[in-house]
Structure 1
Amino acid sequence: MNDEEVRPRQRFLALDTATAVMAAALMEGGKVTGEVNVRGERNHSVHVITELEGLLSDAGVSGRDITGLAVGVGPGSYTGVRIAVTAAKTLAWAWKVPVAGVSTLHALAWGGWAQGRSKLADKQATLQDGVNQWIIPVLDARRGQVYTGLFAANGEEAPVRLEPDGIRLMTSWVEELAQRLANTDESTRPEVLWFVGETELHAQAAAGLTKVLVQAVPYELEGCWVGRLGAERLLNGEQDELHTLVPNYTQLAEAEANLLRQR
């Protein structure tokens, strides 16, 4: 009998509502055993609990079986991020289990890159092993801005972060990426840049990058990637303090900014 057979089951519930999709997953260790992705145009509060209950019920488990929670902390929709974080903290407190926050953009980068690779494989246009690749997740933040970050592909493992999550003007961000490419040593310079997520509005700006293959992948977040990131943290014994875990807004909400201007 090996360690996996005698170790108590580690079941994690993962949730993210920072985008137009309420993405949730049920994990057993690092394996996805259930998933639900519901498009709600960022009005997730009306169905989040119902969908989580259905996810657990379909798997034949209850809250008593959950040993940890993972939650996407953004950045993304201000209201959306709060819904998931509040729900996860409430459930963690009620079930007396640890909670771990993960980056919505990290999960978006991983899932979008996986989908893009899959589409290339379908076209028999797979990239050679060992090709350096950067992944740029993009969520529209209006007024030419995007929530974004920068990651390096890491085989089958989670992408490696190169730049922190933040809100940036897309045109300035592309210029920054071009400068970074120019300053990167040839041995580690990527041959492919993957823009993934809400790419349609910003495709023209991304096309300004030359001397590198640019792949744009429209992609909506899936719960499995939030689950895999969260399970990795929880299995490593990492967790966040329940009462101080907060969303990553990256900037003031518009209402708060307007109030400050009035003052």
Structure 2
Amino acid sequence: MKKQNDEPRKRFLALDTSTAILGIAVTENGRLLHETNASGERNHSVHLLPIIEQALQATGTTPAMIGGIAVGLGPGSYTGTRIAVTAAKTLAWAWKVPVAGISTLQALAWGGLAAALKQQVEPSSAGEPAEQEPAGTGPDWIIPLLDARRGQAYTALFAADGEHAPRRLEPDAIRLMADWVLDLTDRLKQAEAEGRKPRAIWFVGETLLLGSGESAGPLREAGNVHVVPYELEGRWAGYLGEERLQAGSDDLHSLIPNYTQLSEAEANLRRNGEGSLNQ
């Protein structure tokens, strides 16, 4: 008779396909065991499951050792996000483990700031000095950016103070970049008036959305602004996912991507439907 394995399930699998990077991580007790970051957004559906299998083999991890699966819900690529969510739900059901959704933008913010601090990158491509005096005494602000086309970005606002996951200040949403910079400038002025001005402001991710940097002019005048190009790494989805799973899980059947907007096909279908009702 086989002896049952009563060892606690301590390992966690995290996956995110919301961006051009397919990120996979296996973590245990806040420690990264394995990470894969593969580029090629159009091939995520082809490579996701083989890469997951490789990650499990590389760490000697069996399904019986997995305590939960975390998945990036986006926002980001409409099709890409669905790929990871579908895979996570399928594996969670097959392995009988909990599943939890995490914000791709929060993982991007955490990883972007960590990469910037580690590499001591220059604050922008505009020829500014590598070192700037802190603008204030409050926690750093992190603004992750993913291109949503037509002058828009998938973005949010987080505060970071220490090595923990960034704390959310504004929700994930699709925003016009020009309006978003003005909103951030107004918020910065308010924070300064209240004595909470951030030490530094970090734009991370697909920072080409800022163009030549002139669009961030109002913020540059008021704060210590850093612009850091960065691609999501699986480890940050892993760290964030492990924290999320230890705090609780989502309902397997109701977990859906965070699209923040309708796909073009859905929008056209809805418009056509409304038109037919009005005829």
TM-score, normalising length: structure 2: 0.86
Instruction: String of CA shifts for 1:194-241, please: whole Å, max 9, x gaps.
Output: 0000001324322442221110110000011001011012223x0000
Whichever residue aligns with residue 259 of structure 2, its letter is Y
Equivalent positions of 1:4-153 (< 5 A) are 8-120=8-120, 125=131, 132-153=139-160
Aligned residue number for residue 222 of structure 2: 211
Distance in 1 between the 2:267 and 2:26 partners?
37
Equivalent positions of 1:215-254 (< 5 A) are 215-236=226-247, 238-254=248-264
Q: Is the 8 A contact 2:16 2:72 kept in 1?
A: yes
In structure 1, list runs of 5 or more residues that go unmatched.
1-5
177-186 or 95-104, which deviates more: 177-186
Q: Is the 8 A contact 2:98 2:249 kept in 1?
A: yes
What secondary structure sits across from 2:41 in the alignment?
coil
Confirm or deny that 1:200 pairs with 2:208.
yes
Q: 1:177 Cα deviation (Å)?
A: 0.4
Q: 1:42 Cα deviation (Å)?
A: 4.1
Query: CA, structure 1 residues 115+60, in 2 after alignment: closer, same or farther (shift >3 Å)?
Result: same
Q: Is the 8 A contact 1:21 1:38 kept in 2?
A: yes
What secondary structure sits across from 1:47 in the alignment?
helix
Instruction: String of CA shifts for 1:47-78, please: whole Å, max 9, x gaps.
Output: 00000000111111222221110000010000
Distance in 1 between the 2:162 and 2:188 partners?
21
Q: Is the 8 A contact 1:150 1:164 kept in 2?
A: yes
Aligned residue number for residue 3 of structure 1: none
Distance in 2 between the 1:175 and 1:124 partners?
25
Instruction: String of CA shifts for 1:141-171, please: whole Å, max 9, x gaps.
Output: 0000000000001210001100000000000
Whichever residue aligns with residue 120 of structure 2, its letter is L
Instruction: String of CA shifts for 1:94-129, please: whole Å, max 9, x gaps.
Output: 000000110000000000011111122899859879
Query: CA, structure 1 residues 177+155, in 2 after alignment: closer, same or farther (shift >3 Å)?
Result: same
In percent, how many aligned pairs have the same letter?
A: 57
Whichever residue aligns with residue 258 of structure 1, its letter is N
Distance in 1 between the 2:50 and 2:137 partners?
43
TM-score, normalising length: structure 1: 0.92
Distance in 2 between the 1:259 and 1:104 partners?
27
Distance in 2 between the 1:45 and 1:191 partners?
41
Q: Is the 8 A contact 1:18 1:42 kept in 2?
A: no
For residue 181 of structure 1, the aligned residue among 188, 211, 214 is: 188
In structure 2, list runs of 5 or more residues that go unmatched.
1-5, 123-128
- Across the aligned residues of Structure 1 and Structure 2, the Cα RMSD in angstroms comes to 2.2
Query: CA, structure 1 residues 27+133, in 2 after alignment: closer, same or farther (shift >3 Å)?
Result: same
Whichever residue aligns with residue 104 of structure 1, its letter is T
